[in-house]
Structure 1
């Protein structure tokens, strides 16, 4: 007799409202990207295994910047100067300072995600906000964009983590 694995958070939301489904997928991917960094030494988290700036610690730094860009700067309409940390998602967003630890980079990301959830709470999925390039965007669009971004980077993190120490998994 085989024992079925417990349902994942996004599976538990399979009959929930649209917003709950979107948020469940965001939460699940946020958990995955954090899990890929946990248990690594600072040196392993910073190892460059590809020609680009991509490292495991850099993925988390970049993900935090993207959260800030879409939820604090775009959705909440905060000025970039009001946002703590990089909110561009540019090359600099991939860089962790030599004094930054795995634990404090994860904490920075968790804080950015918490602020995103707080910002989004005041909006309905159909609410739109101005966007400098797209004109206006729905909260729904922001959620889907973040899911796409996190899904891509989770796959990057899976591959990098496997290269670092052989750890694989869902």
Structure 2
């Protein structure tokens, strides 16, 4: 386990709370990105389950979720929320490289926004009342890890690649 993403996360093990949260989320983001890397558009859009879940769709969904939680909710830059089912929809013209670039851009924007706030910073959220940046980090770690797990299974079914680095 010598990949830079894994090392960054491991180095945070004795760090402060924010460092641990940021490194944990970045590790899950990197895993998700790695699950899509090297796939053709056809492979990334292949569905192995009855739902529309694909690696490409997971990438697109997570880019939208980054935007919702960090830009719209934390930074209070409201815009219409997308139809949840549409967040997984990928057009035939969207390449894996474009989806990865969009995800990377969304993650970079999330990091930039989060850096402006303390962990205890509270913002309104329609269903939950108030949420802190700390809660948003914990939620995004859970959300990203869950979908990275889905992508891990889909990638294994695609070409046999498994695990943290595969």
Q: TM range, normalised to the smaller chain? A: over 0.9
2-side partners of 1:98 and 1:40: how far apart? 14
Q: Which runs of 5+ in 2 are unaligned?
A: none
TM-score by length of 1: 0.91
Q: Deviations over 1:65-124 (max 9, x none)?
A: 11011001000111215xxxxx54711010111111000000000111011011111100
Q: Deviations over 1:43-70 (max 9, x none)?
A: 0000010011110000000001110110
1-side partners of 2:83 and 2:58: how far apart? 10
1-side partners of 2:17 and 2:83: how far apart? 27
Aligned residue for 2:59?
60
Aligned residue for 1:11?
10
| Number of equivalences | 161
Aligned residue for 1:136?
130
Alignment RMSD (CA, Å):
1.3
Which 4+ stretches in 1 moved above 4 angstroms? none
Q: Deviations over 1:130-153 (max 9, x none)?
A: 111111100000000000001111
TM-score by length of 2: 0.93
The 1:62–1:97 alpha-carbon spacing in structure 2 relative to 1, beyond 3 Å, is same
2-side partners of 1:141 and 1:88: how far apart? 22
Is the CA contact (8 Å cut-off) linking 1:69 and 1:88 kept in structure 2?
no
2-side partners of 1:38 and 1:118: how far apart? 24
Aligned residue for 2:155?
161
Q: Which runs of 5+ in 1 are unaligned?
A: 82-86
